[in-house]
């Protein structure tokens, strides 16, 4: 289990971050700093921060960024991985599908919303089902691009389970497409990662048919 969690730090380092594991700021210091700068943005836009509805918005946004939307940037928040012996000798694929994805596009800081479908084939260990969801949530809670998010989830699972037999598919709507620019509300983006036995066409097709 320690190897799995240690490997998550390696995955973290693949993100474009500055000293992810050694930030000089506490969460409260981050909130204070973000609140100050967001207040400047709002005032620059011409908003009246004396208004009852707006006066606490900088603090609310700052707390949301640090404690919720971007909490995956803090390595301390990575989920602890619980592994169990595969006592039932189950050797077929295990699929956790329709996992909610809520992330933010790193290009415009607007939402990415969709579903992740994750599968693996045990080589002796199984992971607690909720931990798969937590891994998806952890890497989603960062400014992201969907391609990177897909790979990070897959690599984290492979490291934790010590197997290459992992598949990840994400189908998501990008609000940088839906709410601005082209404003196409009907399109979605699909990314996928197949490794190990899932790279085999028969296994891959079996997985996809169950989605």
Is 117 one of the catalytic residues? no
Is 105 one of the catalytic residues? yes
Q: Which of 105, 117, 137, 152 is catalytic?
A: 105
Residue 32 domain-assigned?
yes
Q: Which residue, of 39, 73, 107, is where some domain finishes?
A: 73
The two tokens of residue 33 are 């700093």
If one counts the domains in the chain, the total is 2
Return d(Cα 164, Cα 196) in angstroms, integer. 5
Is 108 one of the catalytic residues? yes
Q: Which of 146, 152, 155, 193 is catalytic?
A: 146
Same domain, 92 and 118: yes
Q: Which of 15, 96, 106, 164 is catalytic?
A: 106
The two tokens of residue 68 are 């919720």
Is 146 one of the catalytic residues? yes
Q: Which domain holds residue 47?
A: 27-73
Asked whether 172 and 94 are in contact (CB, 8 A), the reply is no
Q: Give yes or no for residue 37 having a pLDDT over 80.
A: yes
For residue 36, the domain's CATH number is 1.10.286.10
The answer for residues whose C-beta is within 8 angstroms of residue 176's C-beta and 6 or more apart is 105, 107, 108, 110
Q: Which of 37, 107, 147, 162 is catalytic?
A: 107
Return d(Cα 62, Cα 52) in angstroms, integer. 18
Same domain, 98 and 185: yes
Same domain, 55 and 96: no
The 3-state DSSP class for residue 31 equals helix
Query: pLDDT of 107-127, one tens digit each?
Result: 999 999 999 999 999 999 999
For residue 181, the domain's CATH number is 3.30.1130.10
Same domain, 196 and 169: yes
Q: What is the pLDDT of residue 22?
A: 55
> Which residue from 161, 118, 162, 158 is spatially nearest to 136, judged by alpha carbons?
118
Q: Which of 174, 193, 202, 206 is catalytic?
A: 174
The residue ranking higher by pLDDT, 16 or 23, is 16
- pTM for the complete prediction? 0.89
Is 37 one of the catalytic residues? no
Q: Give yes or no for residue 165 having a pLDDT over 90.
A: yes
Q: Which of 15, 96, 108, 164 is catalytic?
A: 108
Same domain, 186 and 87: yes
């Amino acid at each position: 289990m320690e190897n799995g969690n240690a490997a998550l730090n390696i995955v973290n380092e693949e993100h474009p971050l500055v000293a992810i594991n050694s930030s000089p700021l506490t969460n409260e210091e981050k909130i204070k700093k973000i609140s100050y700068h967001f207040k400047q943005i709002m005032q620059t836009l011409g908003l009246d921060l004396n208004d009852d509805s707006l006066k606490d918005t900088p603090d609310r946004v700052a707390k949301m960024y640090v404690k919720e939307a971007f909490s995956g940037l803090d390595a301390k928040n990575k989920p602890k991985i619980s592994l169990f012996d595969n006592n039932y000798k189950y050797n077929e694929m295990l699929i956790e599908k329709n996992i909610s994805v809520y992330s933010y596009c790193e290009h415009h800081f607007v939402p990415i919303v969709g579903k992740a479908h994750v599968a693996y084939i045990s080589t002796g260990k199984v992971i607690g089902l909720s931990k798969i969801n937590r891994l998806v949530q952890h890497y989603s809670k960062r400014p992201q691009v969907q391609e990177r998010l897909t790979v990070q989830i897959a690599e984290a699972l492979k490291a934790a389970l010590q197997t290459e037999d992992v598949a990840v598919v994400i189908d998501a709507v990008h609000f940088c497409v839906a709410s601005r620019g082209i404003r196409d509300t009907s399109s979605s983006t699909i990314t996928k990662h197949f490794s190990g036995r899932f790279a085999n066409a028969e296994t891959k097709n079996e997985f996809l048919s169950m989605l």
